[in-house]
Chain A
């Protein structure tokens, strides 16, 4: 099976709120001292693809990103995790494109890279959290799409997918070609690449395209535009329960909890 995993590099989403600043003019987060990392759901998607390849005993995994030159680091790490090939579509402007523009670019790159049976994206990105690229990409390529998948297996000529829902799970049977958006689960926590593989990955080829190479021109804001970005201040004053001993404190806590819950 020929598998494409779409990956986005983002500002480390787990930096503490107190270190988070925005650039009001550009309507984006300030880079500050934060690292650039792979969006976690993209790594979950890659891990899901790797496990699928291991279980089904074959297949080729290509990772694809649209982004700045720095995204190469993320793609090389993906190679170290044992993706077979990597491609970067260089974003030569420094503007954030909307999800439709991104989907159109990824669709053009996917067509150029080959015929994919399975295209995996993350459920959403940890910066803007649009949660749209997978669905839009499916429409661009006129493929069906299943969201929030956490396991991909094969039975006969069909894929057997498990996806998360509000109340539990669903099993979905599907035929490739298909687009899946991947969510996190206990079993698709991304693996840590071996040091040796990290070294090798640095020497592996990496395909780079410009938009001109792909023959696409997109309007980065035809779909939507960010008009305001602000950091809301919502700190509350926390009262630590009084008491000198553990017993006294827990007693105060118990009273407080009963007070709140019995008023319901």
Chain B
């Protein structure tokens, strides 16, 4: 086993914040371990679970890195434990830090606690929470490509829809307007929150409760099991502020809230807020914002 580090890239570090954060994390760990950094590039457009896994496994067997780092996208999360199993290593996900001793820091208990986990076997295969690692692009060694393989009998992705097409990634948004169960239905999102988001140059997001109710698509969910966002401003409307939701906004610079309940936990996380019914606040707020912009 070498002291090298491999990163598995599904995106382009020059244009993608998560990928450049991965490069930064990989460089740092490789330097601490005194090894070199390798990159494995996988084409997300043609990704198939079984063949991608087998290709990455083959490359990693040759490289024999001590650690393999991945990002927090769907495919990385899908591959991580299986790759560790095949290579006889140990995996961990959602890491906010990793040390040369292969100790990983991550949130547990729905964001209520933080644990340090000692990985016992090598290679360590770890996917990182985006945004928590300093981005870097250069100098990145030329990535090894993931060669095409036939799927055989394995599962095949036959359709890739993207509801959020054309929209910038929520992870990269600088302002986010998010709604929860308190919005009461899809109309509230469409007729109140969406126009407010437009006025603030914001992207729309939601809590799990709002997604589960079918008011907005699941791709808008922020939290432990949704997107991890890092805007300058996160305006939470009708959201309680459950720890699992807040786990997705820990990197936000400022949080503001509109909530009818003064005792909602969200007020323990935000910089400023208003205790009122959003149905009274938002229409008036939109009026005032439009007037101020004129």
A associates with B: yes
Q: Interface of A with B (CB < 8 Å)? A: 11, 13-14, 16-17, 20, 22, 27, 29, 99-100, 123-124, 126-136, 138-140, 144-148, 150, 161, 164-175, 178, 183-187, 189, 221-232, 234-236, 238-241, 246-247, 249-251, 253-258, 260-261, 264
Contacting residue for B162 out of A135, A144, A168, A255, CB 8 A: A168
Q: Assess whether B164 is in contact with A167, with CB atoms less than 8 Å apart.
A: yes
Contacting residue for B159 out of A170, A236, A249, CB 8 A: A170
A133 CA to B81 CA, complexed, in Å: 8
Q: Assess whether B292 is in contact with A258, with CB atoms less than 8 Å apart.
A: yes
The residues of B that contact A126 with a CB separation of less than 8 Å are 110, 244
**Nearest 10 A/B pairs, CB to CB:** A174-B155, A186-B214, A135-B81, A171-B159, A228-B116, A139-B85, A132-B81, A167-B162, A168-B163, A254-B288
Contacting residue for B115 out of A17, A222, A223, A226, CB 8 A: A226
Q: How far is the CB of B267 from chain A (nearest CB, A)?
A: 5
Q: Assess whether B110 is in contact with A131, with CB atoms less than 8 Å apart.
A: no
Candidate in A11, A230, A257 with the most chain B CB atoms within 10 angstroms: A257
Q: Assess whether B273 is in contact with A130, with CB atoms less than 8 Å apart.
A: no
Q: Assess whether A138 is in contact with B109, with CB atoms less than 8 Å apart.
A: no
Q: Assess whether B281 is in contact with A250, with CB atoms less than 8 Å apart.
A: yes
Q: Assess whether B120 is in contact with A225, with CB atoms less than 8 Å apart.
A: yes
Q: Which of B1-9, B60-68, B216-224 contacts A (4 or more CB under 8 A)?
A: B216-224
A254 CA to B160 CA, complexed, in Å: 40
Tell me the residues in window 240-260 of chain B with beta carbons closer than 8 Å to chain A beta carbons.
Answer: 242-244, 250, 254-258
The residues of A that contact B272 with a CB separation of less than 8 Å are 238-241, 253, 256
Q: How far is the CB of B271 from chain A (nearest CB, A)?
A: 6
The answer, yes or no, to whether B174 is at the interface (CB within 8 Å) is yes
Candidate in A189, A227, A238, A255 with the most chain B CB atoms within 10 angstroms: A238
A5 CA to B225 CA, complexed, in Å: 20
The residues of B that contact A256 with a CB separation of less than 8 Å are 256, 272
Q: Assess whether B108 is in contact with A229, with CB atoms less than 8 Å apart.
A: yes
The residues of B that contact A222 with a CB separation of less than 8 Å are 120-121
Q: Assess whether B232 is in contact with A225, with CB atoms less than 8 Å apart.
A: no
**Given A168-B217, A183-B225, A254-B285 in contact, is the A261-B154 Cβ separation under 8 Å?**
no
Contacting residue for A246 out of B115, B169, B212, B280, CB 8 A: B280
Q: Assess whether A227 is in contact with B219, with CB atoms less than 8 Å apart.
A: no
The residues of A that contact B181 with a CB separation of less than 8 Å are none
Candidate in B112, B118, B159 with the most chain A CB atoms within 10 angstroms: B112
Q: Interface of B with A (CB < 8 Å)? A: 49-50, 73-74, 77-78, 80-82, 85-86, 90-94, 103, 106-110, 112-121, 153-165, 169, 174-175, 200-202, 208, 211-214, 217-219, 224-225, 227, 232-233, 235, 242-244, 250, 254-258, 265, 267-276, 280-281, 284-285, 288-289, 292
CB-based nearest A residue for B105: A228
CB-based nearest A residue for B117: A224
The residues of A that contact B280 with a CB separation of less than 8 Å are 246
Candidate in B81, B163, B243, B289 with the most chain A CB atoms within 10 angstroms: B81
Q: How far is the CB of B117 from chain A (nearest CB, A)?
A: 5
Contacting residue for B219 out of A27, A168, A175, A261, CB 8 A: A168
The residues of B that contact A184 with a CB separation of less than 8 Å are 208, 211-212, 218, 225
The residues of A that contact B110 with a CB separation of less than 8 Å are 13-14, 126-127, 129
Q: Identify 15 residue pairs between A and B in the complex whose beta-carbon atoms are under 8 Å apart, listed by A's number.
A: A99-B91, A136-B82, A144-B50, A168-B160, A169-B159, A178-B155, A185-B218, A228-B115, A229-B116, A238-B270, A246-B280, A253-B272, A257-B256, A261-B232, A264-B175
The residues of A that contact B274 with a CB separation of less than 8 Å are 240-241, 249-250, 253
Q: Assess whether A169 is in contact with B161, with CB atoms less than 8 Å apart.
A: yes
The residues of B that contact A27 with a CB separation of less than 8 Å are 115
CB-based nearest A residue for B119: A224
A174 CA to B157 CA, complexed, in Å: 9
**Given A136-B85, A167-B163, A168-B163 in contact, is the A238-B273 Cβ separation under 8 Å?**
yes
CB-based nearest A residue for B108: A128
The residues of B that contact A226 with a CB separation of less than 8 Å are 115-118
The residues of B that contact A254 with a CB separation of less than 8 Å are 285, 288-289, 292
A98 CA to B137 CA, complexed, in Å: 35
**Given A17-B265, A238-B271 in contact, is the A173-B156 Cβ separation under 8 Å?**
yes
Q: Assess whether A186 is in contact with B92, with CB atoms less than 8 Å apart.
A: no
A246 CA to B281 CA, complexed, in Å: 8
The residues of A that contact B225 with a CB separation of less than 8 Å are 123-124, 183-184
Q: Assess whether B161 is in contact with A170, with CB atoms less than 8 Å apart.
A: yes
The residues of B that contact A164 with a CB separation of less than 8 Å are 74, 218-219
Q: Assess whether B275 is in contact with A240, with CB atoms less than 8 Å apart.
A: yes
Contacting residue for A169 out of B92, B112, B163, CB 8 A: B163
Q: Assess whether A225 is in contact with B117, with CB atoms less than 8 Å apart.
A: yes
The residues of A that contact B175 with a CB separation of less than 8 Å are 261, 264
Q: Assess whether A225 is in contact with B155, with CB atoms less than 8 Å apart.
A: no
A241 CA to B120 CA, complexed, in Å: 50
